Amino acid sequence: MQGRNLALYAAAAVLPGLCLWAAAAVVPVRSQHLPETVYKSVIAIEQAPWKWSEAKKGSLKGSVSFTGRLSAQPVVLYLQRDDAEGTFDPPAALNVSQKGARFNPSFALLVRGQKVVFDNDEDDEISHNVYFLGASEVDLGMFDRGNSREHTMSDAGEVSVHCSIHKLMDARFFVAPSPACTTLGAEDTSFALSNLPAGRYKLKSWQKQKRFKDIELAVEVVADKETSVTVEMAR
Amino acid sequence: MMRALLALAVPALLLLGCASAPSRPEPAAGAAQLVVQFDGQARTGVKRAAAGSSDSYGRGQGGSGKAFAKVDYSSIDDVIVLIDRTTVAAPAVAELELDRDGFARAQYLASAAGGGPARLVIHNDTGAEAHVVGFSDEQGFEVSIAPGARAEVNVAAPGAYELTCDEVENAATIVHVTTCRSWQGESEDEAFFDDLEPGLCHVTVLAPRLPVVHRTVELAAGRRQTVVAPLTVNTLPRAGK
């Protein structure tokens, strides 16, 4: 009789565990992917072998108006070709400081193919980690004071940058499809892009903080000519 | 008789003790239940602090001040779970608190159930008039709120709305407007969904600053299924040199 009771107690102890084990047998299907509802998707780029350096060039200038209050947060304007993008030499690497557990700069406009170097230049023995979410999702590792990590931004789009140790250590990059891009500051009401390969493009905007509707304008860059556009950042 | 009572009482005590687990109804015969648990993990290679502290530390100590505040992976705020089952409940109002430091939460959840709009209520505790704008890919809104007042905004289209405030430069948050069954809370808690249609169910877990987690589970009638969502950067591919 005592043995039967022991068996009952044992079953009572083991059964909940078995149930939990069975319940946990789930199927992880998709691993991480870009959630369209949270981060901007990668900007799809079609690549062609033609070279920027050999193309006939034109330029684009524009005036920009904002409805409502001007924002101190940067607004990026960039061109995306209607046909395939050519090859180009990306700008020089961007160095990002991590002193004081802050990314400096905390915002950067980069160009696809550009390298970013994160320097752990802390005064004290403090380790940092760098990882990206968004158009690039990658972990650059842990590194101690005096060390650096570098990464080439191969995909265009929005990238948020974080340290997995320090919860306020964040930055945001926008990686443009090509060097045809510029950042508008708080006081800017005009822009100019020169040395652009002739062709048809979409002029698009990206905002570090979205305070206006993003724009998408069809523009044509004509060889040896200057094209003018008017950009209205409205709400 | 005593022994029989004991046999009944011991499992009951065991169940109570094993978990300060919340008491939940048993699943109905034709419906399923889902529990989403969270497993916050610091990055591999990051040592934990001494016992008694929940902070995660890097290889080097040091660094004082707000900027050096550490992520506590055992307690992550503002976790959101969405499952691909349409909600039939009355829309829940998203209450957003805005003060001079920005919005109180990194992300909010608003339900647009039954084809009606989602309702956002924004409380202005900045001490001055606040102009709040919100944009999803599809839709936007702008609202002015007097100091100490609140404004209500109806949002018809589901999506992720980025909200900012003209007067508070760093104020930024995301409101997820959804028609799905959803949950928001802290990672120490569990998301519990009852009365679900059996079949494959896609689960999305959104935690601030962390990769989005996707899982698909098979829900069976009369059963409770549990899924564990890792909240960590350890799932990211490693690169860099």
CB contact under 8 Å between A101 and B162, yes or no, is no
**Do strands A75-81 and A107-111 pair parallel, antiparallel, or not at all (unpaired)?**
unpaired
- Find all residues with CB under 8 Å of A186, minimum gap 6, and list them: A70, A71, A72
Q: Model-level pTM?
A: 0.84
Give pLDDT, residue B48.
59
Residue A87, pLDDT above cutoff 70: yes
* CB-CB under 8 Å, A140 with B239: yes
pLDDT of the residue at B137: 81
Which strands sit side by side in the sheet containing B94-99, from one edge to the other? B102-103, B94-99, B118-124, B150-155
Q: Does B56 touch chain A (CB under 8 A)?
A: yes
**CA R_g for chain A:** 25
> Using CA atoms, how far apart are residues A158 and B71, in angstroms rounded to an integer?
23
Long-range interactions of A30-37: CB distance < 8 A, separation 24+: A30/B214, A30/B216, A31/B214, A31/B235, A32/A137, A32/B211, A32/B212, A32/B213, A32/B214, A32/B235, A32/B236, A33/B212, A33/B214, A34/A134, A34/A135, A34/A137, A35/B204, A35/B206, A35/B212, A37/B159, A37/B160, A37/B176
* Contact check, Cβ <8 Å, B214/A30: yes
Q: Are A35 and B60 within 8 A, CB to CB? A: no
Q: Say what the pLDDT of residue B12 is.
A: 52
CB-based contact (8 Å) between B131 and chain A?
yes
Written as tens digits, the pLDDT of chain B (241 aa) is 555 555 555 555 444 444 456 789 999 999 999 999 999 999 998 865 544 444 445 444 556 788 899 999 999 999 999 998 887 777 678 999 999 999 999 999 988 877 678 899 999 999 999 999 999 887 899 999 999 999 999 998 888 899 999 999 889 999 988 888 899 999 999 999 999 999 999 999 999 999 999 999 999 999 999 999 999 999 999 986 5
**Nearest C-alpha of chain B: how many angstroms from A196?**
29
Contact A137 B211 (CB under 8 A): yes
Q: Is B208 on the interface with A (CB under 8 A)?
A: no
A209-228 burial by CB neighbour count: b if 16+ within 10 A, else e? bbbbbebebebebeeeeebe
Closest-CA distance of chain B to residue A188, Å: 17
Query: What is the rounded end-to-end Cα distance, in angstroms, of chain A?
Result: 79
Cross-chain Cβ contact A165/B211 below 8 Å: no
* ipTM of this complex: 0.84
What is the Cα–Cα distance from B111 to B89, expressed in whole angstroms? Answer: 9
- Do residues B168 and B145 lie in contact, with contact meaning Cβ atoms separated by under 8 Å? no
Chain B CA closest to residue A124: B62
Q: Are B174 and A12 an interchain contact pair (Cβ–Cβ within 8 Å)? A: no
Residue A230: phi and psi, rounded to 5, are: -120, 125
CA distance A199 to chain B (A): 27
CB-based contact A32 B3, cutoff 8 Å: no
Structure tokens at B139: 């839709």
Output the pLDDT for position B204. Answer: 93
Residues of A in contact with B227 (CB under 8 A): 24, 26
Q: Do A137 and B214 touch (CB under 8 A)?
A: no
Quote the pLDDT of residue B54: 44
Contact indicator for B76, B231 with CB cutoff of 8 Å: yes
Tally of CB atoms within 10 A around B176: 25
A33 φ, ψ (degrees, to nearest 5): -145, 170
Which residue's entry shows tokens 């957003």?
B96
Q: Which amino acid is at B123?
A: H
CB contact under 8 A, A165 and B61: no
Starting from the edge strand earliest in sequence, which strands make up the sheet with B172-178, in order?
Answer: B107-111, B172-178, B159-165, B130-135, B140-145
Question: Is the CB of residue B213 less than 8 Å away from at least one CB of chain A?
Answer: yes
Rounded-to-integer distance, Cα A55 and Cα B26, Å: 70
Residue B106 near residue B171 (C-beta atoms within 8 A): no
Q: Point out which residues pair with A66 in neighbouring strands.
A: A233
Q: Identify which of B127, B62, B82 has the alpha carbon closest to the alpha carbon of residue B101.
A: B127
CB-based contact (8 Å) between B5 and chain A? no
Which residue has better confidence, A85 or A67? A85
Which 3 state secondary structure label does DSSP give A7?
Answer: helix
Which pLDDT score, from 0 to 100, does residue A200 have? 97
Reported as a single tens digit per residue, the pLDDT across B114-129 is 767 889 999 999 999 9
- Rg from Cα positions in chain B: 22
Q: What is the pLDDT of residues A3-58, one digit of tens each?
A: 444 444 444 444 444 433 333 333 322 222 223 444 456 899 999 999 999 999 99
Q: Cα A218 to chain center, whole Å?
A: 23
Q: Per-residue pLDDT for A194 more than 90?
A: yes
Residues in contact with A161: Cβ distance below 8 Å, sequence separation at least 6, in sequence order: A103, A130, A131, A132, A170, A171, A172, A173
Tens of pLDDT, residues A101-131: 999 999 999 999 999 999 999 999 999 999 9
Q: pLDDT value at position B99?
A: 97
Q: Do A162 and B209 touch (CB under 8 A)?
A: yes
The verdict on a CB contact (< 8 Å) between B164 and A210 is yes
B positions 100-119 inside 8 Å of A (CB): none
Provide the residue type at B169 as one letter: E
Confidence of residue A68 (pLDDT cuts 50, 70, 90): confident
CA–CA dist A130, A149 (Å, integer): 8
B90 vs chain A: nearest CA distance in angstroms? 23
The average confidence (pLDDT) of chain A is 85
Nearest CA of chain B to the CA of A173: how many Å?
Answer: 15
Nearest-angstrom CA–CA distance, A157 and B73: 28
User: Least CB-CB distance to A12: which of B11, B45, B237?
Assistant: B11
From A42's Cα to the closest Cα of chain B, the distance in A is 15
Residue A174 distance to chain B (closest CA, Å): 17
Of B133, B142, B233, the CB nearest to A139: B233
Q: Which residues of B touch A33 (CB under 8 A)?
A: 212, 214
Query: Chain A interface, mutation test: which of B43, B54, B235, most A Cβ atoms within 10 Å?
Result: B43
Q: Between chain A and chain B, how many beta carbons pairs sit less than 8 Å apart?
A: 188
Decide: A170 and A102 in contact? Cβ < 8 Å: no
> Which residues, at least 6 apart from B94, have a Cβ–Cβ distance to it below 8 Å?
B108, B109, B110, B118, B119, B120, B121, B175
Sheet holding A138-143, edge to edge: A107-111, A170-176, A157-162, A128-134, A138-143
The answer to whether the bond into A105 is cis (omega within 30° of 0) is yes
For residue A43 the two structure tokens come to 């900007």
Closest chain A residue to B70, measured at CA: A166
Q: Which architecture, in CATH terms, is B88-178? A: Sandwich (2.60)
